[in-house]
Each structure stands twice: as structure tokens, then as C-alpha cells.
């Protein structure tokens, strides 16, 4: 990982009229796992109608730090995976991530959302063969993945509506949440949902969300995929913001954590959007790290049967983290972003893995990376000035900031960010360094620094 895995002390220069980039006391920039965690389970956050036309109570689990005494915590909304067909808020990766965020001083919630979509009668022969081969290969109900692209779009849309409702609930109904520092994240399908919830504009919503003709009769092969009495009607799904907790707060977020997810349209991310921290494995067989149809590589490599090959082509084309990194690296005024792409050897047949799995240790590293990436942008109440291990002067500055780093044993890496998380400049060296800030307008900025096993951030002021 590029970030330093050590105690992060966020440093500040005291100005009574300005907020610090982070709470400079025991919070440690919300990057250190220093708290015990309490969990409140099955908290309702709304009601919604499933694809079968049935009402569903939407629930979340709330994870809180114990004993921090903080009345204004950052918050993280986490969304589980499961191909929009299965999964639960207590999936081990999201439960582990929620605990890891709460241990760092966040309020973290893991949500359930509406699952499921209609299956297509046109793919019945392929689904039938894949069901048999899948069962022999240990992949039960593989036929349930068959769907028209519009059905996947509608499933994503419903999940986005629920996620945005959950974000508004967190901002307005949970005590001690700082509504200006709310983040959203998810794994696999949850990563799709988290990014779409953060980046998809109302005018970019899929036309599939409008009323559609009823789904054709559900063939017997799909019997295990649908609840009894599931309606085949496909009504309009309503506005992309959904209808949960409207008017009390918006569903905007400060940043996004994407694990194994993708976007159906990369252009949803534009200049000035929330910052993005993403994790992917290069040979992911479920959600391609570059671009492709989900599950195509998994079926061709791991089920190794032509009866299944049509299934992945029915899903929309998805653009994973490797593609998004290329896109954002060339996008003018792109939001702040950091990608952790790790190598995963391709499995041989029969597959024992898909490069789409996480260990608890990997979850912990992902959370550590994300909290270090955006931690210094979290504003909070003023704290007394702390002793600085990096000397910067003058501060406030006019055209340049001089930095004294000679007391560090190793070279120091510096990165200057705007308060909305945009990377402006980097510098590396040791001794007396000079940072040219003459091109930037007056305002508040922050410097992230790292040297050996030390890291931190400090506020910089430009005045003219």
C-alpha cells in the first residue's frame, strides 16, 4: 500500500476563526484503531417495494466507537455485495469494515437494500445447462444470474435509491454524526451501488427505471430464483433519489470507498465530484478490473462449459477500477483519487478462488488506506495547537511555504491538497524545502507528509 501504516498524528496551526483539517486531539485524524466498538442491530431506516411488488422493511446495523466523547463524528455507509441477488448487511467483509471504521472514531452503518431482478425467458436453454453444470461445480443456482441488461440496471437503481435514503437517515436520525463528513462504500455489487449513489446525476439515471412491459412468464428453471407469487409487473421506479427522508438532508457524500465494484458509465464521475479510494485485484474474474461483462471470465475459466457462456453477455458492460484509474488520471480537474490494484494469480481449473475474495487482514488494510487518504480533509471542532514535528513557515503564507525537514532520518514526501480533496502539488526531499504556492488563490489548504514510519498532515493558509 502507498500510505504509511503507522500512528498518524494530524498537526495544525491554530487560527481561531478556522476549522482544523481533523480533530487534532486523540482522534489521530480518524486513522488509528483506538476504540472499542458497540453494535446496534436491525435498525429500520425505511420501507420500499421490491421487484416482486412486495413491501420490504429496510434495516441497518450501526457501529459506534465507545468512549470517544465526540459529538460530531464522521460516518461511513457500507453496502454489501451479492450480484444484486443475495447477501446481507452482516456479510463478513462489510461487518469487518464497519468495525474497523468505528474503531477509528467513525459512526459506521452496514445496510440491507432491495435485492433481485426478473429473469429472461429468452435465456432459458442456456440457464438450464448452466444450472446443471453449476451445481456439479459447487455453484448452486447459477441460472439465477441470467437477466436482461435492463433488469440489472433496475436492480442497481433500486439499490441506489435505498442507499441514498440510508445516507439521509444517517445524516439526520443518528446522533453525533457530522453531516458534512459522510462517506459511502461497498464491495462488489455494493461497490457498484456506492459509486452510483455518489456519482450518478439525476439526469444520468437509466431509462430502464421507467415503466416497462411486464416480464414474460417465469420458466420453471428459474423457480429457485423467485419468491412464490412474485409479480411480473415492471412499474416506473420513481426518482433516482428515492422517497426516503426527503427534505431533511441531501444524499451527497464527501468520499467513496469502492472494493471490487465498477461503473456502467465512467462519465458519471466528473470534476469536483467526491474523492474516490478504490481497491481491486488485477485478475478479478467476477468484476473485471479493466472493462467487460461481469461473470464472463468466471464462467469461461471456472465452469468451463459452453452451456454457460451466454449468461455473462446479458449483463451490461462494466468499467472496473483499472479503467477508472486511467480515466481519472487523464480527466481535467479530476476528484482526488487513489487506487490500490494488487496482483492475484489467475486460478487454474477447477477454480478454488476467483480473485474476488478478501481476507480480514485485507479489509483492515483497505480501511486503513481509505482513512489515511481522506482523513485530513475531515473538518472538526477547534483543538489547542499541538507540537509540530514538521516546521512550516510563514503560515499564513503569501507566495511560498518553507519547510524544515532536516531532523527526519529519511526523505520527506509532501502533497498539497485543497480542502475539497484535490491534489495540487507534490514535493520530495530533505532539509530546507520550498513549496511554491503563488498560483493558488487565498484560502485554507492542507499538507500531507510522510517520512519513514511517520506520517501526518497540517493546515496551511494562503493570504494576500
Mind listing the pLDDT tens digit for each residue in 181-208? 999 999 999 999 999 999 999 999 999 9
Q: What is the pLDDT of residue 23?
A: 40
**Residue range 50-70, pLDDT digits in tens:** 999 999 999 999 999 998 889
The mean pLDDT value of the chain amounts to 84
14 vs 130, residue with greater confidence: 130
Q: Is the pLDDT of residue 14 over 60?
A: no
Q: Are 156 and 192 in contact (CB under 8 A)?
A: yes
- pLDDT interval class at 151 (50, 70, 90): very high
384 vs 222, residue with greater confidence: 222
For the segment 258-287, the average pLDDT, to the nearest whole number, is 95
Query: What residue ranges define each of the domains in the chain, with the CATH number in brackets?
Result: 1-25+385-464 (2.60.40.3080), 33-356 (3.40.50.1820)
The cell numbers describing 16, all together, are 481561531
Q: Are 441 and 462 in contact (CB under 8 A)?
A: yes
Q: Is the pLDDT of residue 15 over 60?
A: no
Q: Is the pLDDT of residue 407 over 80?
A: no
pTM score of the predicted model: 0.81
Q: Is the pLDDT of residue 337 over 50?
A: yes
**Residue range 294-321, pLDDT digits in tens:** 988 887 787 665 556 555 567 899 999 9
Q: What is the pLDDT of residue 302?
A: 78
Q: What is the pLDDT of residue 344?
A: 95
**Residue range 105-131, pLDDT digits in tens:** 999 999 999 999 998 766 666 676 676
Q: Are 117 and 152 in contact (CB under 8 A)?
A: yes
388 vs 47, residue with greater confidence: 47
Amino acid at each position: 500500500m502507498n500510505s504509511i501504516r503507522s500512528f498518524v498524528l494530524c498537526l495544525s496551526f491554530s487560527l481561531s476563526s478556522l476549522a482544523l483539517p481533523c480533530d487534532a486531539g486523540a482522534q489521530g485524524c480518524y486513522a488509528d484503531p483506538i476504540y472499542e466498538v458497540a453494535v446496534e442491530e436491525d435498525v429500520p431506516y425505511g420501507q420500499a417495494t421490491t421487484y416482486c411488488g412486495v413491501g420490504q422493511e429496510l434495516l441497518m446495523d450501526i457501529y459506534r466507537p465507545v468512549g470517544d466523547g465526540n459529538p460530531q463524528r464522521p460516518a461511513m455507509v457500507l453496502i454489501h455485495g451479492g450480484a444484486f441477488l443475495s447477501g446481507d448487511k452482516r456479510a463478513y467483509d462489510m461487518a469487518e469494515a464497519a468495525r474497523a471504521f468505528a474503531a477509528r472514531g467513525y459512526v459506521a452503518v452496514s445496510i440491507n437494500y432491495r435485492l433481485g431482478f426478473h429473469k429472461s425467458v429468452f435465456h432459458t436453454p442456456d440457464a438450464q445447462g448452466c444450472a446443471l453444470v453449476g451445481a456439479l461445480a459447487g455453484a448452486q443456482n447459477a441460472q439465477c444470474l441470467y437477466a436482461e441488461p435492463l433488469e440489472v440496471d433496475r436492480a442497481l437503481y433500486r439499490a441506489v435509491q435505498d442507499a441514498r435514503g440510508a445516507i439521509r437517515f444517517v445524516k439526520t436520525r443518528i446522533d453525533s454524526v457530522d453531516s458534512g463528513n459522510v462517506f459511502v462504500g461497498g464491495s462488489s455489487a455494493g461497490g457498484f451501488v456506492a459509486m452510483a449513489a455518489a456519482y450518478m446525476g439525476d439526469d444520468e439515471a437509466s431509462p430502464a427505471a421507467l415503466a416497462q412491459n411486464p416480464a414474460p412468464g417465469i420458466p420453471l428453471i428459474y423457480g429457485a430464483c423467485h419468491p412464490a407469487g412474485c409479480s411480473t409487473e415492471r412499474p416506473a421506479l420513481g426518482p433516482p433519489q428515492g422517497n426516503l427522508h426527503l427534505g431533511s438532508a441531501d444524499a451527497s457524500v464527501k468520499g467513496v470507498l469502492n472494493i471490487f465494484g465498477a461503473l456502467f458509465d465512467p462519465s458519471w464521475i466528473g470534476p469536483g465530484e467526491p474523492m474516490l479510494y478504490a481497491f481491486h485485484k488485477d485478475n478479478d474474474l467476477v468484476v473485471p478490473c479493466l472493462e467487460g461483462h461481469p461473470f464472463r471470465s468466471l464462467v469461461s475459466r471456472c465452469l468451463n462449459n459452453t452451456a454457460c457462456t451466454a449468461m455473462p453477455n446479458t449483463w451490461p458492460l462494466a468499467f472496473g477500477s483499472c479503467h477508472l484509474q486511467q480515466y481519472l488520471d487523464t480527466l481535467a480537474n479530476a476528484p482526488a483519487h487513489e487506487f490500490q490494484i494488487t496482483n492475484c494469480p489467475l486460478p487454474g481449473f477447477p477454480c478454488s478462488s476467483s480473485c474476488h475474495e478478501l481476507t480480514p487482514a485485507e479489509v483492515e488494510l483497505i480501511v486503513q488506506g481509505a482513512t489515511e487518504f481522506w482523513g485530513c480533509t475531515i473538518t472538526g471542532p477547534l483543538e489547542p495547537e499541538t507540537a509540530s514535528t514538521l516546521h512550516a513557515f510563514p503560515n499564513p503564507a503569501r507566495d511560498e511555504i518553507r519547510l524544515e525537514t532536516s531532523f527526519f532520518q529519511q526523505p520527506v514526501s509532501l502533497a498539497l491538497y485543497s480542502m475539497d480533496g484535490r491534489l495540487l502539488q507534490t514535493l520530495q526531499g530533505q532539509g530546507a524545502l520550498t513549496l511554491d504556492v503563488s498560483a493558488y488563490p487565498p484560502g485554507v489548504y492542507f499538507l500531507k507528509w510522510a517520512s519513514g514510519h511517520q506520517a501526518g498532515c497540517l493546515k496551511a493558509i494562503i493570504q494576500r
